[in-house]
């Protein structure tokens, strides 16, 4: 199977989804800040710190899963006849993976529309190996070449933002939902948020 080259827009949408998920759950935000404060305090994070703050990684994984920034993966095509589960896929057929369907499969992710980072943690609170069903950067040999950089950026973005500011819903505003706007990308609905600088005295 081959795939056609594509450009990536996942990171900007990913940042938006991450912020939306953080705002929608004060409990998640509090846990994030507590883990960051306990591990690093007010120092700058480095990539080597990722293994020391597993809850941050779990939140990122759950955001990528439930957000499904690109609902339909980049097109692939078969370069020979393929038999799959009793179906013949002729040579030259275009294949498009439904990423959203994979990410919301209840047989893999129980209660799939609930934002639950703990599903990626073991009983001791350590990060589990990410499931092969979490494929926000497409799949196959020609998946997004920027995946490694995007994951690092998400880690640095989340830790630095939560370390320094707190997100709150403005008075009178309803709590945000995890519903989104479907298009080439899947983004959160518009929402209002108050941002307050944290007291960084540790």
- In contact, 97 and 138? CB cutoff 8 Å: yes
* CA torsion through residues 84, 183, 65, 136, sign: positive
* 63 CB neighbour count, 10 Å cutoff: 25
d(C-alpha 90, C-alpha 77), whole Å: 10
| 173 in a known ligand binding site | no
Instruction: List the alpha helices (DSSP H) in 75-195.
Output: 99-103, 147-164
Which helix (H) or strand (E) segment is 76 a member of?
strand 76-77
Phi, psi of 45, rounded to the nearest 5 degrees: -80, 155
Closest CA to 120 of 173, 41, 59: 59
145 Rama class: left (phi>0) / alpha (psi -120 to 50) / beta: alpha
Beta bridge partners of residue 82, listed in sequence order: 89
d(C-alpha 102, C-alpha 82), whole Å: 21
Annotation: binding site: 144
Annotation: binding site for heme: 144
């Amino acid at each position: 199977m081959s795939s056609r080259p594509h450009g990536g827009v996942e990171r900007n949408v990913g940042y938006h989804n991450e912020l939306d998920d953080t705002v929608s759950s004060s409990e998640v935000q509090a846990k994030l800040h507590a883990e960051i404060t306990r591990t690093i305090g007010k120092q700058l994070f480095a990539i080597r710190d990722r293994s020391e703050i597993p809850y941050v990684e779990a939140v990122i994984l759950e955001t990528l899963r439930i957000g499904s920034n690109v609902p339909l993966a980049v097109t692939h095509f078969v370069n020979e006849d393929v038999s799959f589960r009793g179906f013949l896929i002729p040579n030259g057929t275009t294949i498009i993976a439904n990423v959203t369907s994979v990410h919301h499969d209840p047989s893999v992710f129980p209660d799939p529309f609930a934002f639950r980072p703990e599903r990626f943690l073991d009983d001791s609170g350590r990060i589990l190996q990410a499931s092969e069903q979490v494929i926000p950067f497409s799949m196959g040999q020609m998946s997004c070449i920027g995946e490694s950089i995007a994951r690092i950026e998400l880690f640095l973005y989340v830790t630095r933002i939560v370390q320094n500011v707190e997100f709150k819903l403005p008075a009178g505003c309803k709590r945000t939902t995890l519903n989104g706007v479907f298009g080439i990308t899947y983004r959160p609905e518009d929402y209002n948020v108050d941002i307050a600088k944290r007291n960084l005295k540790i």
